[in-house]
Structure 1
Amino acid sequence: MFRPPYGKGGDLESGARPLYPMMLESPELRWAFIRKIYSILTLQMLITVAVASVVVFVRPVALFFVSSPGGFALYIFLIILPFIVLCPLYYYYQRHPVNLLLLGIFTVSISFAVGLTCAFTKGKIILESVILTAVVVISLTLYTFWAARRGHDFNFLGPFLFAAIMILMVFALIQLFFPLGRISLMIYGVLAAIIFCGYIIYDTDNLIKRYSYDEYVWASVSLYLDIINLFLSLLTLFRAADS
């Protein structure tokens, strides 16, 4: 969702079809970059599924986190850890292999949080959220590539999405300290899902047009967070609707 300043490289000799009108760089190089991002993203999602599955199906793991003081403290640490890791990742995202090590720590910590959220959720709700997340992500990704090729640009969404995420965070804090009930949770889930759908379009558009070739780690983090947050938003919505 957030990323450092970017640059653009280019190769004017390419004869391949451009990804968008007025494209000045090599389509082959950009496609190679896009494939690299989605390869990293796929690996992140596989790690998330593996870690979350262990937490969900090996019951002593989930019970340790919620039934013992040490486990609960570790749970809080794992929730905070991704935000801590983002700071050095912001500065070392171009330094190999430190960037990949930080990316791995970030992904595993997020995966534990996702697994603990799913551990106490009905299997039907998890399945519905996974299927809907997959359909939405694939559909919005294909749409963004299609729209970019026809000259549409989604960079204007940036300020609106940033304002929307600030409002969502304030809403979550209010809900945390002053619970407003099931209906407010459903509203929160719907709003969050819409916002992160917008972020998927925005970050995919940046992937096509704006990320430089050495920003592969940061691009992967952005799309990974969009997908995970969309899944958690749908999970919140379906849990509230089922209660």
Structure 2
Amino acid sequence: MTESPELRWAFIRKIYTILSIQMLLTVANSAIVISVKPIPHFFVSSGAGLGLYLFLLIFPFLGTLFFAFFKHFDVKNLLIPLYFYHQRHPINLILLTLFTISLSFAVGVTCAFTKGKVILEAAILTGVVVISLTLYTFWAAKRGHDFTFLGPILFSSVIVLLVFGLIQVFFPMGRISVMIYGGLGALVFSGYIIYDTDNLIKRYSYDEYIWAAVALYLDIINLFLSLLALFRAADG
């Protein structure tokens, strides 16, 4: 209640500046992966490439799962270096860049096997959903609404999605199941956009700007990949 609104708005602007740079880097890196044909060709021409491709498909979901686990259970000294150094400048920015590049590579490989029309549809809908939910969350927060109750529900939903995705990889259940998977994923990560935006407005401290940017970036990437899976299955 005693916090200066100017400081909080400066913090919010900083987060969205970092997020915008991440999205531009993702688009650029994905475009390179798509345009350099030997890269996607490697993933369909060898067993090792196929295994790596499957890992890249679930990598964004693993990132969200790890992030949610850290936030909900305050786990320390585990797994990703970005968690260790997210408050240490400039190491945090270097690790954030590497994290963004690796995730954008996963997006690029996925898009390389998708029609351009489907990619455009998923990108447009992702942009509309992100902007709409962001504006809604700011509006709701201004009126005193709180979305912390979504945390455990969304965390459980990500685990279900991850297991469902692994089952789908080893025991394909057809196009309808992929569409259901994509639709459920889109709903879950839409909820995460609301939840993490609410945290950005109310709960993150000023030295957690990297962690806040990672949260929103993962939400947007996973929403895009879920919509991509949905539209790609619908397109046949």
Query: Could you state the TM-score of these two structures normalised by the residue count of structure 1?
Result: 0.84
| 1:36 counterpart = 2:29 | no
In structure 2, the residue matched to 1:111 is 104
Relative to structure 1, the CA distance from residue 73 to residue 189 in structure 2 (aligned partners, 3 Å threshold; closer, same or farther) is closer
What SS does the corresponding residue of 1:214 show, helix, strand or coil? helix
Deviates more, 1:229-238 or 1:62-71: 62-71
Residue of structure 1 equivalent to 2:228: 235
Inter-partner Cα distance in structure 2 for 1:100 and 1:76: 28
CA offsets, 1:145-198, max 9 Å, x none?
Answer: 000001111111111111111111121122122211111111100100000000
Partner SS for 1:225 = helix
Instruction: Give the whole-Å Cα distance in 1 for the aligned partners of 2:131 and 2:79.
Output: 26
Would you say the 8 A contact 1:204–1:223 is kept in 2? yes
The answer as to 2:26 corresponding to 1:48 is: yes
How many residues are aligned here? 221
Which of 57, 61, 81 is equivalent to 2:35?
Answer: 57
Identity of matched residues, %: 71
Taking structure 1 as reference, are residues 78 and 195 closer, same or farther at Cα in structure 2, changes over 3 Å only? closer
- Amino acid paired to 1:29: L
| CA displacement 1:22-59 (0-9 Å, x = unmatched) | x3311100000000000000000000000001111222
1:102 paired residue number: 95
Q: Which residue identity does 1:89 align to in structure 2?
A: L
Match of 1:209 in 2: 202
Q: What secondary structure sits across from 1:25 in the alignment? A: coil
Preserved contact between residue 78 and residue 109 of structure 1 (Cα < 8 Å): no
> 5+ residue gaps in structure 1?
1-22
Deviation digits for residues 118-148 of structure 1 (CA, Å, limit 9, x no counterpart): 0010000000000000000000000000000
Greater helix proportion:
2
State the alpha-carbon separation in 2 of the partners of residues 205 and 216 from structure 1: 14
CA-to-aligned-CA distance 1:213-232 (integer Å, 9 cap, x gap) = 00000100000000000000
Q: Mean Cα displacement is larger for which, 168-177 or 76-85?
A: 76-85
| Greater Rg by CA | 1
Match of 1:166 in 2: 159
Alpha-carbon deviation of 1:78? 6.3
Q: Aligned equivalents of 2:218 and 2:140: distance in 1?
A: 23
- 5 Å-filtered alignment, 1:1-243, equals 23-67=1-45, 87-243=80-236
Give, in angstroms, the shift of residue 77 of structure 1. Answer: 7.6
Q: Where does structure 2 lack aligned partners over 5 or more consecutive residues?
A: 67-77
Separation (CA, whole Å) in 2 of partners of 1:103 and 1:213: 17
**2-side partners of 1:187 and 1:71: how far apart?**
27
- What is the Cα deviation at residue 61 of structure 1? 2.9
Whole-Å separation in 2 of the counterparts to 1:181 and 1:138: 32
**Cα displacement (A) at 1:206:** 0.1
